[in-house]
Amino acid sequence: MENLWGILVRDIYAQGRTFANAEDLKEVIARRELWRVVAESLNIARLGRKRFIGNDDERTPHVDLLYGANGWVEHVDDRGIRFVYDASKRVFNNKKVPEMQRISEWDCHGETVVDMYAGLGYYSLRFLICCGAKQVVSIDWSDDMCEALRRTAEANNVQDRMLVIEGDSRRVTPCLVADRVFLGLVPSCRAHWLTACKALKQEGGMLHIHEVLDVTSRQIPRKMETAKPLPKLQSVEEEGSAKENKPGLAKSSSNPLGKANGITEKTPTKRKLSRSQSIVEEMESRVFPAPKILKDFEEGTWKSLAQPYKDFALDCARHCTRFLNNIHFSDTMYCVTIVNLTNNEGAVASDVFSIIVARS
C-alpha cells in the first residue's frame, strides 16, 4: 500500500504542484482520474469498492465499479474450473465449496443431470468436469445468472454439453429427461419435489434433495395429505349443457305431432363421466410401496441419525413414491429407496442435509 500511495502522491504533486485548499485537491484528483492511476499501478483492468453483501436470498453484492468498462471477473476453484460472473451483480458463495467437493467424487458418466437451481454453476460444472456427466440442464430464474452460466460454460469449453434454461424451475424444467436431479435450494425445496419427479426418466433415477432441519425442537412428521371428497359429477348433454345427474329430475319431452305421424322421438342421450371418476378413485385407493433403505446405509449411518432426520427422509420418500406412481400410472409400481443422508453442518451455520432417493 505504501508504493500505491507513493504513486498517487507523485502523480498528483508532479512538477511541484501545490494546492491552496482541499477543494482544489479534490478537483485535481477527479480530473486526473485517480482510479485509473490506481488500476494502472496495480496492472488490473477493473477496480471496485465492496461495501457489503446483502442478507437476501440472492446475497446481492453492493459493489461500486470505480474503474473499468464492466464488472465481469473470473474465479478459479481448487479443480481449475473457471467461474465467470459480474461482481457488481453477483458474488461467489464460498459456503458451497464443501458440497462441491463432495459432488466431485460421484460417477455420472453417460448421465443427463438437471440442476434445478444452478446459480453461478457451482454444481453444474462439477457434474460436467469432475463427474463426467453427458449433459447438464442448468436452470435459474435470474437473467444475470444465466448469462454468467453461458460465459462460464464457454470459458471451460463445455458449452456443447450444458443447456441453460431461464425461468422458474417449477414451470420450465423438462420432463422425462434426467437420470439425476439435483435440488440444492435451502432452506427447503419441498415445493419442487413433484417437478423433480416429473424430470426423471420413465425408468427412474436419482434425486438429491437439500433441506435445513431444526433438530433442537421436537418435530412432528408431516402426514400424507388425505384425498379430498370427489365433487359430484355432472351429466353432459349432447348439446354441451351440463345438469346434475339426479334421479327423478329428468324431464321427458313430448311431441304430439310426432306421435300422430308415427314418429317416435328419441330421448337425448347423456354422456356420463364415470370413466374419469373410476380412474381418480382407482388412483386414490392404491396402496403404494413403503420406502426402502439401502441395506449398507441402514446398517451403518442410519442407526446413528437423530429421529428428525429419519422422519424427514421417510416423509420425502413417501411423497416421491406417490408422485412417481401418479405421474406414471401403470400396473408396475415405483419404489423409492433412501441410499444416503449427509450432514453438511460444518459448511454453513445451520443443519443442511442432502437426501438421495432412488427408484428401485
Same-domain check for residues 96 and 208? yes
Same-domain check for residues 64 and 106? no
Same-domain check for residues 120 and 213? yes
Same-domain check for residues 52 and 194? no
For helices 2-12 and 22-31, angle between their N-to-C axes, nearest 10 degrees: 100
Same-domain check for residues 126 and 210? yes
- Counted domains in the chain: 2
The answer to whether 111 and 179 have CB atoms below 8 angstroms apart is yes
pLDDT for 129 equals 97
Domain contains 161:
yes
Domain contains 325:
yes
pLDDT tens digit string along 121-142?
Answer: 999 999 999 999 999 999 999 9
Domain contains 304:
yes
Same-domain check for residues 190 and 295? yes
Q: Which domain holds residue 40?
A: 22-69
pLDDT tens digit string along 274-285?
Answer: 556 666 666 667
CATH assignment at residue 190: 3.40.50.150
Separation of alpha carbons 324 and 173, rounded Å = 16
Low-confidence ranges of the chain (pLDDT < 70): 1-8, 15, 28-33, 52-62, 215-284, 344-360
pLDDT for 208 equals 93
Q: Is the pTM of this model over 0.85?
A: no
CA distances from 236 to 232, 243, 254, 265, 266 (A): 13, 7, 21, 20, 17
pLDDT for 30 equals 63
